[in-house]
Amino acid sequence: MMGQLFNGGLISLINFGLHALITGIIVAMTRHLVWVTRRRGTFVRVASLLIITMVALMCAHVVEITIWAKYYDWIGLEVKNATSFEFAFENYTALGYGDATPAEHWRLTGPITSLNGLLLVGWSVAVIFEVMRMAEVQFEHLPIKRKRRRQ
């Protein structure tokens, strides 16, 4: 049991580091994107910011799930009714169909994966909100174009 907790903690730390790296990349990319889209409309800027953020986060989550799947393969965890990647995905998202179960002595591995996934998904939501807040602040500083009235 303690081995599962320790190893799960190590895999979680690896995933936290990866997520921190991706968060830093998102911050750098969105700051650059704000500058690149300075002459574009509001819609283009918001859409660009969200697309960059969402694609980066989705890629990060798939890589993090893959890290869990590779860990499962490395420890020899066998799961009925699913591959290691499917089992990792199901646990990471806390979906829990219930049809894929590991051997009795690996029962804590799924919940550890779920806790890691829930924390990282929550972190991703915070990143999305921060990008949107940054966009809102940027829009507040944009000059408002007003049409002149002809007299």
- 38-47: per-residue pLDDT in tens? 777 778 888 8
- Round to whole Å and give the CA distance between 100 and 102: 7
Check residue 140 and give its pLDDT.
Answer: 59
CATH code of the domain covering residue 89: 1.10.287
145 belongs to a structural domain: no
Q: pTM of the entire structure?
A: 0.83
Cα distance between the two ends of the chain? 82
Check residue 147 and give its pLDDT.
Answer: 60
Higher pLDDT, 125 or 38: 125
Check residue 4 and give its pLDDT.
Answer: 80
Lowest-pLDDT range, 12-21, 43-52, 141-150?
Answer: 141-150
Amino acid at 67: I
The structural domain count of the chain equals 1
149 belongs to a structural domain: no
147 belongs to a structural domain: no
Helices 84-92, 42-75: crossing angle, 10 deg rounding: 130
150 belongs to a structural domain: no
The three-state secondary structure class of 119 is helix
HSE-CB for 77 with a 13 A CA cutoff: 28
**Assign residue 62 a region: left if phi > 0, alpha if psi is -120 to 50, beta otherwise?**
alpha
Range of the domain at 48: 2-140
The three-state secondary structure class of 89 is helix
10 belongs to a structural domain: yes
